[in-house]
Amino acid sequence: MAKYYVESGSVRLVIQAADARRAALWSVHRVMEQVLPLVDEVPDEADQEPVGGMVLGDAITLNEQGFDRLPDTQYDTLEVVAEWSQLMLALDKIESLARGVC
């Protein structure tokens, strides 16, 4: 897996992922975790970076070399958030089916 330096608005994260799109999706997930109660689990503190007050910008830029460089890849934030939302809905449906609730 590659290491991606992700920047958007006030967000600056280092994410390991199979590709840039997955790194962008995981970054959105990390930001949304701060806003929405997604799971009832207690996060592993060693795995969490401080992310309070993160705000996404209009674009999510990724670079494999470091922060504050020209982006290798750039995505429209709303498109990535929409894809993340679809993934969360699919996971919720799968979870409901596994519990026998439809």
85-102 pLDDT tens trace: 999 999 999 998 998 875
Mean pLDDT of the chain: 87
Residue-wise pLDDT for 75-88, tens only, equals 999 999 999 999 99
Answer positive or negative: Cα dihedral of 88, 14, 75, 36.
Answer: positive
Domain spans of the chain? 2-99
* Angstrom distance (rounded) from CA 89 to CA 74: 25
- pLDDT at residue 13 greater than cutoff 50: yes
Which residue intervals of the chain are DSSP H helices?
Answer: 20-35, 77-99
The pLDDT value recorded for residue 52 is 58
Contact 59, 8 (CB under 8 A): yes
* Residue 70 CB neighbours (<10 A): 8
In whole angstroms, give the CA distance from residue 78 to residue 84.
10
pLDDT tops 50 at residue 46: no
Can you state the percent helix, strand and coil of the chain, rounding each to 5? 40, 25, 35
Name which of 5-9, 15-19, 31-35, 62-66 the model is least confident about: 31-35
